Amino acid sequence: MKDDFSQDEKNFSKMNQSENSSSVNDDSLDWAKQAYLQLKQKQKEEKELFQKEIEEKEILKTKINTNEDFKSNITVENSLQVSQETEVEDQPQLGDFDDTFTWSAEVLAAQGKKIDQFSLDDIDWLSRLKQGLEKTRKGFVTDLLEKLGDDPLTPEVLDDLETLLLRADAGVSATDQILESLRTKLNEEVVEASEGLRFLKEQLVNILEKPIKDSGSDLLSPQKGSLNIWMLVGVNGVGKTTTLGKLASVAKRSGFSAMIAAADTFRAAAVQQVKVWGDRTGVEVIANESKNADPASIVFDAIGASKSKNIDLLLVDTAGRLQTKNNLMEELKKIRKIIDKLAPKANVESLLVLDSSQGQNGLRQALAFADSAELTGVILTKLDGSSRGGVAMAVASEAKLPVRFIGAGEKIRDLRPFNSFEFIEALLTDR
């Protein structure tokens, strides 16, 4: 541990001497160093604990396989759980002490978190979110800062901003709202470039927050003591089944019991893909692999199983469909009727999974699915490969839907509850 800290101090020394460090003052740099060292220690302790858990599982598996008396005292359910291959997930890693770490720490602090409340998960996620929005940021922030310069805002700058927002797929409604607010402010006072950027961030956050506040729930989470059913819908290729698996992982890590209904019976190998995610996350999958199985009947069985086992969260995978395919959209309505009939007291969410790279086409999907699927929210995926992250604003302002989760990578932890402040900070950072 001492050697690790010594190496970190060398890194800090290099950082202090680099040109990048000129963007933060000495006080904030010292504060960030303290946070980094504490997280370094946390990472070491968590690695040791994780390794100990793996060793204990291996010992238990050996006992089960070699000792008949021991085996007979273990329930079938526990035996299956213990004998299951240990999924060594990609644990969050603390990177270098650099501008990205300092930025991540500042974003957490701006939300009221103290150093001892920082987690490796938080820092790791923010660094990946920032990286995931890089393509959108390069096509937006670089040009924006160039247009802003160091001078006060002008009407001409606002015209340029309109072009940039539309190019990032923020949508006409969100763009008009932002420009109207900025023009009003510009008519009332001289707006310096830095104040203009701060005000822009504030307006973007407000747009994203409005449908979230209107929903009455800042954070979408299963409610203990009752059945929660989340139905995932969307076209093929948006990452729907993968997102479902990641949601199962989030639920398990958060202390909720979960079950999956594999109701996508139209796509070849869809059920097998869901089962792989079930194995990875330790979540039971209700499925019917027979040809032309009825999706609604699978949901029927899954609801019954969820009730009998007091499951907190039932995740329903559905077939990918085009918003123009009426027969498939009718299938969604049928599934929803089954849910409403069998679980009238359940907390039901209908979440549209959108590939952020689809831009305005994604918005059209949201508007088309809104009626048939009774949408309550959106999950944005594939932010790491898109230059159109601005579609989040279009979804919020035009479809009036809250963004509930975002995905920025392929790993099982690369899905998190949506945070408007963090999203906009990552989108508009100049570091």
Q: Is 238 annotated as a binding residue?
A: yes
Q: Is 66 annotated as a binding residue?
A: no
Q: How far apart are CA 287 and CA 302, in angstroms?
A: 8
Q: How far apart are CA 95 and CA 236, in angstroms?
A: 35
Q: Is 385 annotated as a binding residue?
A: no
Q: Is 239 annotated as a binding residue?
A: yes
Beta carbons of 75 and 32 less than 8 angstroms apart:
no
Beta carbons of 14 and 97 less than 8 angstroms apart:
no
Q: Is 321 annotated as a binding residue?
A: yes
Q: Is 225 annotated as a binding residue?
A: no
Q: Is 362 annotated as a binding residue?
A: no
Cα-Cα-Cα-Cα torsion 127, 133, 139, 140, nearest 10 degrees, comes to -90
Token pair 């802003």 is found at 148
Residue 100 has which token pair? 């990205």
Q: How far apart are CA 402 and CA 354, in angstroms?
A: 13
Q: Is 416 annotated as a binding residue?
A: no
Beta carbons of 369 and 323 less than 8 angstroms apart:
yes
Q: Is 320 annotated as a binding residue?
A: yes
Amino acid at 308: S
Q: How far apart are CA 36 and CA 338, in angstroms?
A: 51
Helices (H), 67-190: 68-72, 76-83, 99-110, 120-132, 134-138, 141-148, 155-167, 172-188
Q: Is 381 annotated as a binding residue?
A: yes
Q: Is 384 annotated as a binding residue?
A: yes
Q: How far apart are CA 335 and CA 233, in angstroms?
A: 11
Residue 74, C-beta contacts closer than 8 angstroms, at least 6 positions apart? 64, 82
At residue 262's C-alpha, the angle toward residues 256 and 264, to 5°, is 140
Burial-class residue 19 by CB neighbours within 10 Å (0-12, 13-18, 19+).
Answer: exposed
- Residues annotated in the binding site, as ranges? 234-241, 317-321, 381-384
- Residues annotated in the binding site for GTP, as ranges? 234-241, 317-321, 381-384
